[in-house]
């Protein structure tokens, strides 16, 4: 047969195909041992020593209980200040990178997640502000598909590194305050926005397997449903505390119902329910309830841990690590286990000791992390570092301190699975017990001598406007929580009388406090030792000069133990029911009797008050 030109070309093509197939098979058999075999959907590998060293078996995630699923998530981090960065006010039609970077974070890449994985993280939480590209003010709740697609790309980066992923709706510009608005139309719009948003999210990502977890909100599902906002809730709030609890329960139930109704993988997806304010104590309140669920054992609980905030959140040189510090953490973690005892897996969705203003680790930060993560190992919680690119550089993978690098690598799930579950718990308990026994009673020997157990002490709680200076913020008097160089005048309260407390900032690094972000006068155990007493502010001096109060103060108690008068507390949206004053009139009282706008550089503050028995 005579071969035509076409026959010759066909013959060549067949030979090339055969050669390519051969090369492919050769590569597969010669290099296959170096490739990572893709796992089936919804499974993880179990290499626990309980099953025999070196043995690998697949575990079906959907067959796990909520608590066991949490254990498989290992430890995690947050992609903070990124997809939840809020640029909505600049328009809803910009490139997604505009919103992603508007709070200073770099554009997220696959390399970002490679760094996360190499650092020892097996899970990542991706906070999201979905209204960035939503014209919701005009009643259009459609999320621009470009934003949905960009979040999908980031989810896929995590999947490429075999990580679990959480996506939520975060602060999101503060629209959550619409739920408690005096304006009925605003309240209706909040309901419509939430339902539409989660229907879209659930539908768009429904084909992802169980490595993707939906979280119904963030810290806003609680008292912040009453948030005042000039754009979203300018007319004020109407919800009482009881009603805030009711609304929080209602929102969480709606979230579960919406996701389940979208079908597909969402019928059995693990869902993360934000606790009340994501605060441990408030979530343990009997008024807060976990939602019901059509799926069996698929709900997880989320709380955050930044205790004490004056250490974790401030940027000054504050330290941590006294016996009372350890006891506080251990007690809160133990209390939280009430939910694991009910069968719920628990995720500490955010936890962190933020760096100093100079970008350095705070003193004893590793001690704080070590004890917190030991508690998480002991009780089976999932800790997730809150990082906004200020602790691990996402473009280089470098930590601000080598001790953090080694700490998180040692807490990778692969390291922990070298031990049995019981061995992990035993090791964690040893770490916790040793840390507590070795902790000093106080860092402030002088004040220890002055303060006897059971006494009430009056002091000024303080956070500077830039969070660089703090002193004993919280309902428990703790003079160890102080910025270096700060001089304080705290006094013992023994009943009715006139008392003066003060702070002197001239010895701190800057020599002054830059205004205030929070401040109050507190009396430790005042409610216990002097029930019903009222604090009547007589004088406030700033830098030695009499200061004109910007509102009428009131006496209250957050925990029913510590008595306080707020000097500047912008987070109070409704006057508490237990508020009382010397004249009995609480109509025009205010939690902000100082004006943060006109304080300026505070070198000293002195507060004089009468403590009066009713």
Are residues 601 and 524 part of one domain? yes
Calculate helix-pair angle for 421-438, 365-379, nearest 10 degrees: 140
Are residues 345 and 320 part of one domain? yes
Whether 562 maps to a domain, the answer reads yes
Whether 56 maps to a domain, the answer reads no
Are residues 86 and 171 part of one domain? yes
**What is the pTM (predicted TM-score) of this model?**
0.85
The domain of 512 spans 445-612
Whether 564 maps to a domain, the answer reads yes
Average pLDDT over residues 196-218: 98
Domain boundary among 390, 420, 438: 438
Domain boundary among 438, 469, 493: 438
Whether 449 maps to a domain, the answer reads yes
Whether 36 maps to a domain, the answer reads no
Whether 60 maps to a domain, the answer reads no
Q: Which residues make Cβ contacts (< 8 Å) with residue 199, sequence separation at least 6? A: 258, 262
Q: pLDDT tens digits, residue range 60-86?
A: 999 999 999 999 999 999 999 999 999
Are residues 432 and 486 part of one domain? no
Whether 466 maps to a domain, the answer reads yes
What secondary structure does DSSP assign to 318-368, as a single string?
-----HHHHHHHHHHHHHHHHHHTTT-EEEEEEE--PPPTTS-PPTTHHHH
Are residues 464 and 387 part of one domain? no
Residues classed as catalytic:
219, 350
Residue reference for tokens 């200073």 = 104
Could you tell me whether strands 212-215 and 164-167 are parallel, antiparallel, or unpaired per DSSP bridges? parallel
Whether 583 maps to a domain, the answer reads yes
- For the chain, what is the mean pLDDT? 90
Are residues 188 and 116 part of one domain? yes
pLDDT at 452: 62
Domain boundary among 381, 409, 438: 438
Are residues 223 and 260 part of one domain? yes
Q: pLDDT tens digits, residue range 542-569?
A: 999 999 999 999 999 999 999 999 999 9
CA 72/CA 158 separation, integer angstroms? 15
Are residues 463 and 395 part of one domain? no
pLDDT at 48 exceeding the cut of 50:
no
CA 126/CA 80 separation, integer angstroms? 7
Of 481 and 12, more confident: 481
Average pLDDT over residues 214-225: 97
Are residues 455 and 338 part of one domain? no
HSE-CB at 539 with a 13 A cutoff on CA atoms is: 13
Q: Structural domain tally of the chain?
A: 2
Q: What CATH number does the domain containing 280 carry?
A: 3.20.20.80
Q: pLDDT tens digits, residue range 305-330?
A: 999 998 999 888 889 999 999 999 99
Lowest mean pLDDT among 6-20, 84-98, 164-178, 473-487: 6-20
Strand partners, 604: 504
């Amino acid at each position: 047969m005579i071969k035509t030109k076409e026959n010759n070309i066909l013959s060549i093509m067949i030979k090339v195909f055969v050669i390519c197939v051969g090369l492919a098979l050769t590569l597969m058999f010669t290099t296959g041992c170096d490739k990572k075999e893709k796992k089936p959907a919804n499974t993880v590998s179990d290499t626990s020593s309980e099953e025999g060293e070196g043995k690998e078996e697949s575990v079906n995630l959907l067959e796990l209980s909520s608590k066991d699923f949490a254990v498989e998530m290992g430890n995690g981090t947050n992609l903070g200040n990124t997809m939840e960065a809020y640029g909505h006010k600049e328009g809803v039609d910009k490139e997604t990178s505009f919103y992603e970077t508007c709070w200073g974070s770099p554009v997220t890449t696959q390399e970002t997640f490679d760094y996360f994985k190499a650092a020892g993280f097996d899970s990542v939480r991706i906070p999201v502000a979905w209204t960035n590209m939503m014209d919701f003010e005009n009643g259009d709740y459609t999320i621009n598909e470009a934003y949905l697609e960009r979040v999908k790309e980031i989810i896929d980066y995590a999947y490429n590194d075999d990580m679990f992923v959480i996506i939520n709706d975060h602060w999101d510009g503060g629209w959550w305050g619409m739920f408690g608005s005096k304006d009925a139309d605003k309240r209706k719009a909040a309901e419509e926005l939430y339902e539409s948003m989660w229907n879209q999210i659930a539908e768009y990502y429904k084909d992802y397997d169980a490595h993707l977890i939906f979280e119904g909100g963030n810290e806003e599902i609680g008292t912040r449903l009453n948030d005042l906002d000039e754009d979203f809730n300018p007319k004020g709030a109407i919800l009482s505390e009881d009603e805030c609890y009711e609304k929080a329960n209602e929102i969480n139930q709606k979230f579960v119902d919406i996701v389940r109704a979208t079908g597909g993988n969402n019928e059995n997806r693990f869902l993360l329910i934000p606790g009340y304010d994501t605060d441990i104590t408030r979530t343990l309140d009997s008024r807060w309830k976990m939602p019901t669920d059509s799926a069996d054992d698929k709900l997880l609980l989320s709380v955050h841990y930044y205790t004490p905030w004056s250490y974790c959140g401030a940027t000054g040189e504050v330290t941590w690590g006294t016996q009372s510090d350890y006891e506080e953490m251990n007690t809160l973690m133990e209390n939280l286990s009430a939910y694991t005892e009910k069968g719920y897996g628990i995720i500490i969705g955010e936890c962190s000791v933020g760096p100093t203003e100079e970008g350095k680790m705070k003193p004893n930060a590793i001690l704080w992390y070590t004890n917190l993560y030991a508690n998480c190992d002991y009780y089976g919680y999932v800790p997730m570092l809150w990082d906004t690119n200020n602790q691990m550089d996402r473009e280089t993978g470098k930590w601000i301190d080598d001790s953090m690098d080694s700490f998180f690598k040692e807490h990778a799930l692969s390291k922990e699975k070298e031990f049995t579950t019981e061995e992990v718990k035993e090791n964690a308990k040893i770490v916790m017990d040793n840390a507590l026994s070795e902790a000093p009673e106080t860092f402030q020997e002088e004040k220890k001598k002055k303060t006897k157990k059971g006494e009430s002490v009056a002091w000024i709680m303080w956070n500077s406007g830039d969070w660089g200076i703090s002193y004993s913020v919280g309902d428990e008097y703790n003079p160890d929580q102080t910025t270096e160089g700060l001089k304080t005048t705290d006094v013992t309260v023994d009943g009715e009388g006139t008392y003066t407390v003060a702070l002197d900032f001239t010895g701190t690094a800057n020599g002054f406090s830059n205004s205030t972000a929070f401040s109050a006068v507190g009396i430790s155990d005042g409610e216990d030792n002097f029930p019903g007493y009222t604090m009547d502010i007589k004088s406030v001096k700033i830098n030695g000069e009499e200061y004109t109060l910007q509102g009428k103060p009131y006496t209250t108690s957050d925990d029913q133990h510590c008595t306080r008068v707020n000097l500047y507390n912008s987070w109070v949206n409704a006057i508490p029911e237990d508020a009382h004053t010397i004249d009995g009139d609480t109509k025009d009282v205010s939690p902000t009797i100082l004006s943060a706008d006109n304080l300026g550089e505070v070198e000293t503050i002195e507060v004089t008050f009468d403590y009066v028995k009713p």
